[in-house]
Amino acid sequence: MPLYAAYGSNLDPELMAARAPHSPLFTTGWLDGWRLTFGGENISWEGPLVTVVEDPASRVFVALYDVASWDEAQIDAWEGTDLGVYDKIRLRVRHDEGEVAAWVYVLNGYEGGLPHAHYLGLIADAAEKAGAPAEYVYELRARPCRSLGE
């Protein structure tokens, strides 16, 4: 089965179990040379959406899932690939036992804008549930964001 590297709210094992019930967690790992950021503020009424961009000095924590073909279509729909919101690309993911190729979703929009505090909190909570190191979760929670009224 193909591997999917989740880095946003899909890090949450309960959420992924609902979105892709036939796709078990394989392991966790890191996208080396990539940075978590936000963009596409004009795409979503909720503000900027999470994405990853290349950055040699950074890395992003991910959960790797073995995705069944019938679940892949559901995840694609959830991520808005049919609407052009996100594109799928394949990257190398480092984990405890080596490296694997996996797909990730990258935003089809410009980087920039501050995420809403609630959205950023969901991502930080998901990272914590997936077993991200405390320092990584802390850095997520400490990121600049805006309140829902802004």
**Quick one: CA dihedral 18, 20, 22, 25, positive or negative?**
negative
Return binding residues for substrate: 4-9, 119
DSSP of 83-145: GTSEEEEEEEEEETTEEEEEEEEEESS-B--PPBHHHHHHHHHHHHHTT--HHHHHHHHTS--
State the Cα–Cα distance between residues 54 and 136, nearest whole angstrom: 18
Return binding residues: 4-9, 119
Q: What is the separation of C-alpha 149 from the centre of its chain, rounded to a whole number of angstroms? A: 25
Q: Which residues are catalytic?
A: 79
